[in-house]
A and B are shown apart, each in its own frame.
Chain A
Amino acid sequence: EIVLTQSPGTLSLSPGERATLSCRASQSVSSSYLVWYQQKPGQAPRLVIYGASSRATGIPDRFSGSGSGTDFTLTISRLEPEDFAVYYCQQYGSSPWTFGQGTKVEIK
């Protein structure tokens, strides 16, 4: 099973700042089959990035994903108030599909 480790656990930033979230896999994720989800309190997760770097429908271009192999990054170029949430990475390259433990982006 591929273990995904996200860092940092919590990111305290101000609106307008840049957020950089990391997701490291215990073994290579095949074909960059890595996704990112956003979850706000009381809501279901929402797909943000798939295939490591493709934005899902309706996701603004301030969100970008990068990486390959074992190291992946989600970048939010300029934080908007609605971006403060918990972000999870997940791999779908090998079964079982697994999630990271999440990074909380909070308002500083």
Chain B
Amino acid sequence: EVQLVESGGGLVQPGGSLRLSCAASGFTLSSSSMNWVRQVPGKGLEWVSYISSSSISINYADSVKGRFTISRDNAKNSLYLQMNSLRAEDTAVYYCVRDFLRGGIFGVWGQGTLVTVSS
């Protein structure tokens, strides 16, 4: 069974840092492009970042560019999101998502991890 499990969420103060991890199972991560998508509880969805299977292509939403860094370790079958200079507006559930067929079609989602930025 294809599965994505996020971890690393929690409460952090404004200006702080957090690193999210996503463990993939049931498939070979190296063959898939991946994303992070976030959702403010009770609100809509926002794509955050994309990384190609080889890590050659990386994209970010303008709202996180320069503060967040996506990376992957195919040997560990894991995806990461390093979040620095966190703001209150970054508070959300962060989903690890596997692309289906091509970048931008979000085919498999993890259960999400909640990040709360508050003093």
Contacts and interface: CB of A to CB of B under 8 A. Distances in A.
Interface of A: 33, 35, 37, 44-47, 50, 56, 88, 90, 92-93, 95-102
Interface in B79-107: 95, 100-107
B73 interface: no
Interface size class of B (residues with CB under 8 A): 20 to 34
Contacts, number: 53
Contacts of B46: 99
Contacts of B103: 92
A45 B109 CA distance: 7
A56 B44 contact: no
Nearest to A6: B44
Contacts of A102: 44-45
Given A50-B101, A95-B59, A45 B106 contact: yes
A88 B44 CA distance: 8
Given A45-B106, A97-B104, A88 B45 contact: yes
Given A56-B100, A56-B107, A44 B112 contact: yes
Given A95-B59, A96-B61, A50 B105 contact: yes
Interface string B26-63: 00000000000000000011110010000000010110
A100 B47 CA distance: 11
Given A47-B100, A97-B47, 6 more contacts: A35-B106, A44-B95, A50-B101, A92-B102, A95-B59, A96-B62
B112 A99 contact: no
A44 B95 CA distance: 8
